[in-house]
Structure 1
Amino acid sequence: MIIALVVASLMAIATVVIHTVGLVAMISIMGKRKHQIARVTGALRIVTYTVATVMGLFLIHTIEIWAYAGLYRALGLFTDFEDALYFSTTTFTTLGYGDVIIESEWRLIASVEGFNGFLLIGWSTAFLVTVVGRLFRAEIRWIDLLDEDDNGDEDGDEDTHGHRRPRR
């Protein structure tokens, strides 16, 4: 049991590191691409960023799930990688169908994987909500700027060239 707990803890730490590195990489890529994507406005921009974010998160989770599957295979708990990957996926996502199980000696690893997956998926959800929220706020600011340009200065003190107008 102690060995399984140590291995499970090390895997939890490893997947948190993978997740952190993945999110930092995504933020970095977004920062470098913001000028290209800033030219695209409206729904296309929001959809593009959202799909890219979801696919990035999907890739990060895939790496984490495959890491657990590799561990199960390395421990000899499965004869082929497909079964290990299936078990890891259902465990990480907390589906836990129960049609594939592992030896009781190593069950603690699967329990920690389920809890770890739950936390990491929650973290990804928070990240996605933040990105989408910022996209919508940026879109609203952009629309507000267009309205100001179309309507002139809101308080009527400046003309279209920025010169102060006399009040009437």
Structure 2
Amino acid sequence: MSNKALIIIDVQNGMFNEQPPVHNGKDLLHRLNSLLKEARHHHIPVIYVQHNEPTGSSLETGSIDWQIHSDIAPLDSDMIIQKHTPDSFHQTNLHDHLQQEKIDELMIAGIQTEVCVDTTCRRAFSLGYKMTLVLDAHSTFDTNNLTAQQIIDHHNQTLRWFAKVTPTTEIINSSI
């Protein structure tokens, strides 16, 4: 039997204050809340990853925009990992914490699909974790070349090499 954890990456106020804001932000927050409720009901650890940027940046450490979005606020029992790069494992204590807690299966959700979510999925796979990417609980922004939905769809297809890509409802219906 594996020990699971839910990892929510960079769902910070600043992501919703961008212009345009993160794609389908309200739906994303709704799905994350559903996952959080189910994970907590089944005593599955929740780990938030919070991106830190320097003074004057959109996710300036300690600023209002840097804070985890209040709609999915962490509980005292949740862990918060601070990071400075797209890789949630790089120069953080995430891997050590997971090893200490004997967690070997990760469910990944959050922002930004093609950057931090992608990088963290690939790194976790390389570290030997069994991975689930929550198909409809990660998001990004439109670019000059691609819509956010195109980026999300592409990554859901590509990351199948590294993770089981599963919709929120299927995860919840299987009792996480």
TM-score, normalization by structure 1? 0.27
Q: Which protein has the bigger helix share?
A: 1
TM-score, normalization by structure 2? 0.26
Query: Which structure would you say has the larger Rg?
Result: 1
Q: Which protein has the bigger strand share?
A: 2
